[in-house]
């Protein structure tokens, strides 16, 4: 089988969606599939006529296409035309669009099928569009070395600096536990939203935490591994997450995680007991949770032990790829 994987060219930072796409393509290739990944430039999710034509040109007759929902949701007519001509077009919807409901609904209805990275993301699509025939392919997790941790404890938040990721809320919470010993690192792109990133840095400075909170920018390879090696607790408190691959990345290092209730990150954490899902409607909840963890060695040890156990049960990427391949090989509905 040959698959053309279409990813949005206007998302340049290391987003979870981009990482999922790359890992899925890599492991489909490992299963013997010939995968061609193409970044489609344009002002997605709603491109110009030229953007949509560029997308349509990638939908060759007889080709099996997996198109990221950020691209595909803005081109329903192009998808319908390609499917009617014999192209299988699967939409990989990481998260339902906040806007453009009508366009997304038409694109999903026109597609050969829909892939979601979590039950949470699938349920969101079903609630908004009544979208049937969704294949759920949860992300895998790469094997990783166990974190040694730090003294004092080190808290990491690995996500691009974006309003949805709520790094300013974390800085505020940390400012309320300054009487305790800890360090923290905010690890993620500062280019995705420069204005918000500047606000995060300003908040760190406002609370006089420059020597305790490092804003590292986006890291990869050995530099990122070193941050995980030093970590004791991971925080992912986004307002919305389809799954939250950082959660399983944390667990792969034996690092417990705090997540926000009502997001896909809760699904990623599961019932591992390796951290907690927080109701953050009360602005004090996060600081109180951090204070309890920092001052309770028994809780620290329990969460750590549970993270180590969860690490042994993580799904690999071959399973996700096999799930997608099985769906693509079925006769089109």
How far are the Cα atoms of 3, 57, 125, 176 from residue 62, in angstroms, in the given order? Answer: 10, 13, 28, 59
CB 208 within 8 A of CB 136: no
- Is the model's pLDDT at 333 over the cut of 70? no
CB 133 within 8 A of CB 110: no
Residue 100: the pLDDT is 87
CATH of domain 154-311: 3.40.50.2000
Q: β-strand 183-187 against 213-215: which pairing, if any?
A: parallel
Give the pLDDT mean for 108-116: 95
CB 280 within 8 A of CB 258: no
H/E segment holding residue 287: helix 285-295
Using CA atoms, how far apart are residues 180 and 221, in angstroms rounded to an integer? 31
How far are the Cα atoms of 98, 136, 261 from residue 126, in angstroms, in the given order? Answer: 14, 13, 20
Domain boundaries, the chain: 2-140+316-329, 154-311
Cis omega (within 30 of 0) for bond into 152: yes
11-28: string of b/e by CB count within 10 Å (b at 16+)? bebbbbbbebbebbbebb
Give the pLDDT mean for 114-127: 95
pLDDT-derived band at 332, boundaries 50, 70, 90: low
pLDDT in tens, 295-329: 999 999 999 999 999 999 999 999 999 999 999 99
Same fold, 2-140+316-329 and 154-311: yes
Residue 29: the pLDDT is 97
pLDDT in tens, 264-303: 999 999 999 999 999 999 989 999 999 999 999 999 999 9
Widest distance between CA atoms in the chain:
66
pLDDT in tens, 81-111: 999 999 999 999 999 888 888 999 999 999 9
Token code pair at residue 106: 């038409």
DSSP 279-315: -TTSTTHHHHHHHHHHH-HHHHHHHHHHHHHHHTTPP
Tally the C-alpha atoms within 13 A of residue 9's C-alpha that lie toward its C-beta. Answer: 12
How far are the Cα atoms of 2, 125, 261, 284 from residue 277, in angstroms, in the given order? Answer: 40, 23, 5, 15
- For residue 89, give the nearest of 118, 122, 123, 55 by alpha carbon: 55
CATH of range 2-140+316-329; options 3.40.50.300, 3.40.50.2000, 1.10.10.10, 3.30.2290.10? 3.40.50.2000
Residue 123: the pLDDT is 95
pLDDT in tens, 148-184: 999 999 999 999 999 999 999 999 999 999 999 999 9
- For residue 4, give the nearest of 50, 51, 72 by alpha carbon: 72
- Is the model's pLDDT at 131 over the cut of 80? no
Q: The whole model's pTM is what? A: 0.93
For the chain, what is the mean pLDDT? 95
């Amino acid at each position: 089988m040959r698959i053309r994987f279409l990813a949005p060219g206007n998302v340049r930072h290391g987003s979870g969606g981009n990482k999922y796409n790359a890992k899925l393509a890599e492991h489909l290739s490992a299963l013997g599939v010939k995968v061609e990944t193409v970044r489609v430039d344009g002002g997605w999710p709603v491109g110009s006529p030229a953007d949509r034509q560029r997308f349509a040109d990638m939908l060759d007759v007889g080709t099996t296409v997996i198109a990221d929902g950020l691209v595909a949701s803005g081109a329903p007519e192009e998808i319908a035309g390609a499917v009617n001509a014999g192209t299988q077009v699967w939409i990989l919807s990481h998260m339902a669009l906040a806007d453009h409901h009508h366009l997304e609904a038409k694109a999903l209805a026109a597609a050969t099928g829909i892939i979601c990275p979590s039950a949470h993301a699938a349920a969101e699509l079903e609630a908004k569009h009544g979208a049937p025939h969704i294949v759920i392919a949860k992300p895998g997790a790469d094997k990783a070395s166990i974190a040694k941790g730090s003294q004092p404890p080190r808290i990491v938040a690995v996500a691009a600096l974006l309003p949805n990721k709520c790094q300013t809320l974390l800085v505020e919470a940390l400012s309320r536990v300054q009487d305790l010993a800890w360090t923290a690192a905010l690890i993620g792109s500062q280019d995705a939203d420069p204005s918000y990133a500047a606000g995060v840095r300003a908040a760190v400075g406002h609370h006089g935490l420059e020597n305790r909170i490092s804003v590292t920018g986006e890291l990869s390879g050995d530099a990122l591994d070193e941050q995980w090696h030093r970590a004791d607790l991971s925080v992912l408190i986004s307002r919305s997450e389809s799954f939250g691959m950082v959660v399983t990345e944390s667990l792969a290092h034996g690092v417990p995680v705090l997540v926000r209730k009502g997001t896909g990150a809760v699904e990623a954490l599961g019932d591992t007991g390796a951290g907690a899902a927080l109701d953050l409607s009360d602005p004090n909840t996060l600081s109180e949770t951090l204070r309890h963890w920092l001052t309770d060695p028994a809780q620290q040890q329990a969460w750590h032990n549970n993270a180590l156990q969860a690490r042994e049960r993580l799904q690999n990427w071959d399973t996700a790829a096999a799930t997608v391949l099985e769906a693509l090989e079925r006769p089109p509905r």
